[in-house]
Amino acid sequence: MSTAEHLLRDRGLRVTRPRVAVLEVLTRGGHLEVEEITRQVRERLDSVSTQGVYDVLGALSRAGLARRIEPAGSPSRFEARVGDNHHHLVCRSCGAIQDVDCVVGERPCLDPAAGHGFAVDEAEVTFWGLCPACQREERADRAA
């Protein structure tokens, strides 16, 4: 039995070929758009619809096996790194995304000044800037 199958069973999910394929794609790492996940899953399975991939991603997210991130101005992305309250760096130019460990280390690593009665268990932070490649390109453009 594969690691993906074990993870699905441990979370009480039925083991299906699409779920295993999507989870295996996600566990390779990265912050993938649905179209890229679908493309990679289709390389493994004869057919799977984009809606089917969305359905699997929803089930995996609800089970805590996938995380959806939504950088402003960018399509939703999904990753398998879950449960550690990490954050993201997003390049304003090319859209590259990098993980950043929690800025303090305990969950949640940030507390709101006014909690309005919420039991806060997670803080989601997105840092915006330019990645090293886009910085080099910007410097080269200015020099030209």
Q: Where are the domains of the chain?
A: 3-69, 83-143
Under DSSP, is residue 27 helix (H, G, I), strand (E, B) or coil?
helix
| CATH number for the domain running over 83-143 | 3.30.1490.190
Which letter, b or e, does each residue of 56-65 get, where b requires 16 or more Cβ atoms within 10 Å of its Cβ? bbebbeebeb
| CATH number for the domain running over 3-69 | 1.10.10.10
Over residues 13-64, the pLDDT tens digits come to: 999 999 999 999 999 999 999 999 999 999 999 889 999 999 999 999 999 9
Cα–Cα distance, 52 to 17 (Å, whole number): 11
Over residues 100-124, the pLDDT tens digits come to: 987 666 666 677 777 788 887 777 8
